[in-house]
Amino acid sequence: MVGLWTRHGNKSDLSDGRHDTESPAWFPPPGGSGSEDHVPSRVNPGILREGLGVLWVAVKAEPRVFALSVAASGLYAVMTVASAWVLGRATDEVMLPAFRSGETGAGALAGAAVLIVGVALLKALGVAGRRFYAGLMQYRMQARYRREVTRQYLRLPLAWHHRHPTGQLLSNANADVEAVWAPIAPLPMAVGVVFMLVIAAGALLVADVMVALVGFLVFPAIALLNVIYQRRLSPLAARAQQLRAEVSEVAHESFEGGLVVKTLGREDSETQRFAERARQLRDANVRVGRVRGLFDPLLEALPGLGVLAVLLVGTVRMRSGAMDAGDLVHVAYLFTLLAWPIRALGWVLAEVPRSVVGWHRVRGVLDAGGSLPYGTAEPAGDAAASLQVRAVRFGYGEDGDTPHDILHDVTFGAAAGRTVAIVGPTGSGKSTLTGLLVRLVDPADGSVLLDGVDVRDLRRGGVAATAALVPQQTFLFDDTVRGNVTLGRETPDEQVWEALRLAQADGFVAALPQGLDTRVGERGTTLSGGQRQRLALARALVRRPRLLVLDDATSSVDPQVEARILGGLREAQAGGGATVIVVAYRKATIALADEVVHLDRGRVVDRGTHEELLERSAGYRELVNAYDRAEAERAGAEGTEEALT
């Protein structure tokens, strides 16, 4: 493994995990504005201690791999010092005698060659082992915490997700996890460097005390310059990384909302917004480049100056007879080998602040409360489920105060095998209610009962095994038709085709080039809106739910097709199928329901059959007739447009 690869395809420097400064490894803490105020400006003792604590978590999780990486790093350290010693001995015992006598023995040359090659091979083995095991440990920890964060996302209730934007969640699971464990890659090398410095100090003292004093001055100078460099570079690099994330976020928003942007003619505004962030990123990268341009030559030059000082002092000492030529070569070569590894300590220090910030963000997710509690009750039977909603109140406000409430004292029921239509104007709380029925969220007051059992008392997965929701907004994965219907479950094709038939999707699926194996594209872009809705309905039906909740799930489907879908569901109900709760607008759809619940401003204002509500409720009558008039006007406008073209 030669180096590591950073996110977005930027190759790291040929070091053990020293990331490119543009890699998005740092993000502001939760709730932060993302300004520079949140960027760690230095590695202070508190952050360093906390960072070492984070690394200790990884060491405890992967002790064997860490031990192997440190052992390999120790081998590299010993062989680095040994290579300088071997070169010094070769100078004294092979090269200088050859100069004096004018000839060299084959045995001496072979012995020196064997020593040099052997040390080089062991050194290479140490480098390979260090990088391999450090990378293995880093990627294992990243994979482990990505899984933990993702599982936590699935455990947390929908109300928690409402308070956290998608971009932040993606950052927590990806960039933040990467930042937490970024110091693992250079850590074994840094440990080996400490070991190497101890051995090198002993070797210098053995060779010559005066030369050792010169070395003891150069090493701290290199370390001090490196610390200053990292303190100057870290906040600038972190700011550049943060801006890269912001540029990506702006681009993502613009692409996701491309239809809205084009429809409203906001292309210039979005382009300007993106350009502004891009200019800030450019300026931040320029500042990073200036610091690197100043310090990199100094860090490269200082070891060279140290070698010159050693040669100067060593030459004087050699002329006085205090040391021989082999010792001087040994010490000078040792300096050239030690200069670069010492910088590994700085790489660890540079990654520690980002690691600590990422750790706080990741722990903020893992320690988040509000998980839905579960009981131990099992779902009852295989027949259609009965549903009771009793005095339910729900609000999206974090404190649940009345001004934030969406639903107020909602009460209704659905007998097993019956169809109930939920009808109400926009904003009346219909979609919120459907989420409560399948327990995406829990009510602030009241209860939802399936077969007489409160959904909060069912075991984990009990509601999902009983009920299925087809939401308003259909989401299809960039997968095959079969994959989108089964979602990875082992399901016979016969059962898939049966679900497609009930959803009136079997015809167009059979006409696709590869049938069930046809890929539908990201978000189902190769299909029409109605086709996407029918696949989403088939996805719910293939699980054979006992309670089916349709949240305006056929709004993009032709009315005749919708009637056939509902007719098929009625046939399935007659055979012991599901109880159906449908949010509907079309009068023909509503008329198929056994009962209608009229919802307005979060309250049930009336219940009864469609005919009963038409007769006694002026508000209900106006609502359903208004939708039919709007549909008729739209159909008329489309017909006129076709005639003109």
For position 488, which CATH number holds? 3.40.50.300
Based on the fold, state whether residues 307 and 184 are members of the same structural domain.
Answer: yes
Based on the fold, state whether residues 433 and 361 are members of the same structural domain.
Answer: no
Q: How far apart are CA 378 and CA 383, in angstroms?
A: 14
pLDDT at residue 640 tops 80:
no
Based on the fold, state whether residues 320 and 437 are members of the same structural domain.
Answer: no
More confident residue, 184 or 12: 184
pLDDT at residue 559 tops 80:
no
Q: Distances in Å between the alpha carbon of 325 and those of 31, 109, 321, 339? A: 63, 18, 10, 22
pLDDT at residue 434 tops 70:
yes
Instruction: Give the pLDDT score at 306.
Output: 73
Instruction: Give the pLDDT score at 147.
Output: 93
The CB density around residue 612, as the number of other CB atoms within 10 Å, is 14
Buried b (16+ CB within 10 A) or exposed e, 462-491: bbeebbbbbbeebebeebbbbbbbbeeeee
**Residue 32 included in any domain:** no
Instruction: Give the pLDDT score at 362.
Output: 87
CB 474 within 8 A of CB 524: yes
**Residue 14 included in any domain:** no
Instruction: Give the pLDDT score at 64.
Output: 93
Based on the fold, state whether residues 152 and 252 are members of the same structural domain.
Answer: yes
More confident residue, 281 or 353: 281
| Domain boundary residue, one of 337, 366, 395 | 366
Based on the fold, state whether residues 419 and 354 are members of the same structural domain.
Answer: no
Instruction: Give the pLDDT score at 272.
Output: 87
pLDDT in tens, 147-196: 999 988 888 877 788 777 776 787 788 878 888 888 888 888 878 777 77
Read off the pLDDT band of 544 (50, 70, 90): confident
pLDDT at residue 146 tops 90:
yes
More confident residue, 259 or 8: 259
Instruction: Give the pLDDT score at 33.
Output: 35
- Show the tokens assigned to 134: 């450090």
pLDDT at residue 340 tops 70:
no
Instruction: Give the pLDDT score at 145.
Output: 93
Instruction: Give the pLDDT score at 200.
Output: 72
Instruction: Give the pLDDT score at 250.
Output: 78
Instruction: Give the pLDDT score at 305.
Output: 77
Query: Minimal CA–CA distance to 346: which of 189, 494, 469, 163?
Result: 189
Q: How far apart are CA 225 and CA 472, in angstroms?
A: 60
Q: How far apart are CA 284 and CA 151, in angstroms?
A: 36
Instruction: Give the pLDDT score at 12.
Output: 33
Mean pLDDT for the stretch of residues 27-43: 37
Instruction: Give the pLDDT score at 258.
Output: 74
The boundaries of the domain holding residue 415 are 387-644
Instruction: Give the pLDDT score at 142.
Output: 92
Based on the fold, state whether residues 262 and 157 are members of the same structural domain.
Answer: yes
How many domains does the chain fold into?
A: 2
Q: Can you state the angle between helices 209-256 and 187-207, rounded to 10 degrees?
A: 170
- Show the tokens assigned to 411: 């009460």
Helix, strand, coil percent values for the chain (each to nearest 5): 65, 10, 25
pLDDT in tens, 36-71: 334 344 445 566 677 788 889 989 999 999 999 989
For 86-100, 205-219, 380-394, 422-436, which range has the lowest pLDDT when averaged over its residues?
86-100
The mean of the pLDDT values for the chain is: 76
pLDDT in tens, 78-121: 887 777 777 767 776 766 666 666 666 666 677 777 888 888 89
Instruction: Give the pLDDT score at 141.
Output: 92
**Residue 474 included in any domain:** yes
**Residue 375 included in any domain:** no
Instruction: Give the pLDDT score at 503.
Output: 82
Based on the fold, state whether residues 553 and 462 are members of the same structural domain.
Answer: yes
**Residue 298 included in any domain:** yes
Based on the fold, state whether residues 58 and 140 are members of the same structural domain.
Answer: yes
pLDDT at residue 500 tops 50:
yes
Give the percent of the chain with pLDDT over 90.
4
For 227-231, 477-481, 501-505, 623-627, which range has the lowest pLDDT when averaged over its residues?
227-231
- Show the tokens assigned to 409: 């004292």
Instruction: Give the pLDDT score at 550.
Output: 86
Mean pLDDT for the stretch of residues 587-593: 80
Mean pLDDT for the stretch of residues 527-542: 85
Query: Minimal CA–CA distance to 177: which of 149, 156, 153, 151?
Result: 149
CB 231 within 8 A of CB 43: yes
**Residue 25 included in any domain:** no
Query: Minimal CA–CA distance to 607: which of 61, 576, 616, 637?
Result: 616
Mean pLDDT for the stretch of residues 204-209: 73
115: enclosing H helix or E strand: helix 106-155
**Residue 224 included in any domain:** yes
Read off the pLDDT band of 336 (50, 70, 90): low
Instruction: Give the pLDDT score at 21.
Output: 32
pLDDT at residue 350 tops 70:
no
**Residue 23 included in any domain:** no
Read off the pLDDT band of 139 (50, 70, 90): very high
pLDDT in tens, 280-296: 889 988 988 888 788 77
Based on the fold, state whether residues 324 and 413 are members of the same structural domain.
Answer: no
Based on the fold, state whether residues 309 and 419 are members of the same structural domain.
Answer: no
pTM over cut 0.85: no
How many helices (H) does the chain have, and how many strands (E)?
22, 10
More confident residue, 637 or 247: 247
Instruction: Give the pLDDT score at 572.
Output: 65
Q: Which CATH number goes with the domain that contains 71?
A: 1.20.1560.10
Mean pLDDT for the stretch of residues 530-535: 85
Q: How far apart are CA 606 and CA 473, in angstroms?
A: 27
- Show the tokens assigned to 443: 């009510």
Most confident of 207-211, 292-296, 335-339, 606-610: 606-610
Mean pLDDT for the stretch of residues 237-259: 72
Based on the fold, state whether residues 189 and 282 are members of the same structural domain.
Answer: yes
CB 189 within 8 A of CB 130: yes
Based on the fold, state whether residues 358 and 404 are members of the same structural domain.
Answer: no
- Show the tokens assigned to 344: 């590994």
The CB density around residue 3, as the number of other CB atoms within 10 Å, is 17
CB 186 within 8 A of CB 344: yes
Read off the pLDDT band of 592 (50, 70, 90): confident
| Domain boundary residue, one of 303, 337, 366 | 366
Most confident of 203-212, 303-312, 364-373, 477-486: 477-486
Query: Minimal CA–CA distance to 213: which of 302, 342, 310, 304?
Result: 310
| Domain boundary residue, one of 314, 332, 366 | 366
pLDDT at residue 375 tops 90:
no
Instruction: Give the pLDDT score at 343.
Output: 63
What is the Cα gyration radius of the chain? 35
DSSP 420: E
More confident residue, 364 or 215: 364
Instruction: Give the pLDDT score at 613.
Output: 87
More confident residue, 497 or 344: 497
Q: Distances in Å between the alpha carbon of 125 and those of 66, 131, 260, 313? A: 16, 10, 57, 35
